[in-house]
Amino acid sequence: MADLIEPTRLTKKDFETDQDVRWCPGCGDYSILANVQRVMPELGLPLEQIVWVSGIGCSSRFPYYMNTYGFHTIHGRAPAFATGIKTANPELSVWMATGDGDGLSIGGNHLMHCLRRNVDIKILLFNNRIYGLTKGQYSPTSEVGKVTKSTPSGSVDQPIDPASFALGVNASFVARSIDVEAQHLGDVLRRAAKHVGTAFTEIYQNCNVFNDGAFDSFTDKAVKADRQIRVEHGKPLVFGAERNKGLRLNPATMTLEVVDLAAGGVTEADLLVHDETNSVLAYMLARMPYPAFPVALGVLFCELRPTFGASLTTQRQAAEQKYGGGDVDALLGGGNTWTI
């Protein structure tokens, strides 16, 4: 990972392609694209060292709009391609764009194994809780009772929370942000870029054609301060327009409570402090019942752990030290042979 402090001469423009962007006007994907293009120059990497990989979906069109190397693959398999690319050339900075269908429906298994292996790639899951490209069927993140083209009487399956899923399969970095929250999304992307290992970031993304306003209840300017909690490592879990609400743990029941700091009695000292290395806390924050609790955003979990690639490299170097570069004649001539 290049040093992020080092300044680079690249600008947002350098990351734009000549292809016109073909998302629907008003799609949340546009702002994600803009934010990514804004953050990318900070990586301090030359364009050619970056690869964007995706599956199939509106979100998966992403690589076409990034002036880096890009591979728009097949539906759901992007994590496997990314694993192959990063393993073949550890020098590359590999990024993946996927959707809630691509990543969690057909691609759930590959995503899970990529996360547990801790392949050093950065994954952005655009969660619009719908299948956009196929014109509006419910997805594994759609709420129960969702009426869509394929579920005229409402969907019956429990949705998955992408962050809980990622934690359950031992992801080493789990974060959440929102398409239009430029500042917050930018910060999360910087953290993801810094993380050595699989960085999994869920981005709530508005599909204004097939699932418009899916997140309004906690993203609207008016309510967001009270409906979101932006977690920061080492800081108490405070939220609310007046920063007057907090999350407290009830140790007896091991459940969370929303407490009112204004009311007096309770102080920040009583609140849980966010510890991004605590998987259980992250799990708890990821799945707080909404709207009784706010939606947790930011870096929920982050843990340093050997990456898939680093371990493989170590094994390869050990082999090379032990046997040298690999000698075909020695290989074929080893063991029992006889000469005539």
Partner 1 sequence: MTESTPLVSSASGREVLPSAVVRFAGDSGDGMQVTGDQFTAAAALARNDLATFPDFPAEIRAPTGTLYGVSGFQINFSSQDVYTPGDAPDVLVAMNPAALKTNLRDLKRGGLLIANSGAFTAQNLKKAGYETNPLEGDSLSNYRVMSIDITKLTVAAVKELNLSTKEAHRCKNFWTLGLMFWLYGRPLEPTVQWIEGKFKKRDDLVQANIAALKAGHAYGETAEIAHHRYEVPAAALEPGTYRNIGGNTATAWGLLAATKLSGLDMLLGAYPITPASDVLHELSKYKQFGVTTVQAEDEIAAVCAALGAAYAGNIGVTTTSGPGMALKMEGIGLAVAVELPLVIVDIQRGGPSTGLPTKTEQADLLQAVYGRNSEAPVCVIAASTPGNCFYMAIEAVRLALKYMTPVILLTDGYLANGAEPWRIPKFADLPKIDVKFRTDPEGFHPFLRDPKTLARNWAIPGTKGLTHRIGGLEKDFKSGHISYAPDNHELMCQTRAQKIAGIADDVPEQKIDLGDASGKLLVLGWGSTYGSIREAVQRCRARGLSVSHAHVNYLNPLPRNLGDLLKRFDRVLVPELNMGQLVKIIRSQYLVPAESYPKVQGQPFKIAELYERIVSTMES
Sheet holding 245-250, edge to edge: 238-239, 245-250, 255-260
CA 198, chain centre distance (Å): 9
Region 119-148 residues binding its own copies, contact defined as CB under 8 A = 140
Question: Residue 336, interface with partner 1 (CB under 8 A)?
Answer: yes
Nearer to its own copies, 108 or 298 (CB): 108
Stretch in the footprint of ligand SF4 (CB under 6 A) among 43-51, 65-73, 148-156, 204-212: 204-212
Within 10 Å of residue 276's Cβ, how many Cβ atoms? 22
Q: Indicate which of Mg ion, partner 1, ligand SF4, none lies near residue 243 (CB less than 5 to 8 Å, by partner kind).
A: none
Per the rule left: phi > 0, alpha: psi between -120 and 50, beta: everything else, 24 is: beta
Stretch in the footprint of ligand SF4 (CB under 6 A) among 24-32, 115-123, 193-201, 313-321: 24-32
Distance CA 186, CA 125 (A): 15
Distance CA 161, CA 123 (A): 16
Nearer to ligand SF4, 106 or 266 (CB): 106
Question: Residue 99, interface with ligand TPP (CB under 6 A)?
Answer: yes
Stretch in the footprint of ligand SF4 (CB under 6 A) among 1-9, 41-49, 207-215, 232-240: 207-215
Distance CA 112, CA 200 (A): 11
CB 58, min distance to Mg ion, A: 7
Nearer to ligand TPP, 58 or 259 (CB): 58
CB 208, min distance to ligand SF4, A: 5
Q: How far is CA 41 from CA 53, 83, 166, 174, 183, in A?
A: 18, 24, 28, 23, 16
Distance CA 82, CA 309 (A): 12
Binding residues (CB under 8 A) for its own copies: these are 105-109, 112-113, 116-118, 140, 153-154, 156-161, 164-170, 249, 251, 253-255, 272, 275, 278-281, 283-284, 287, 305-306, 308, 311-312, 315, 318-319
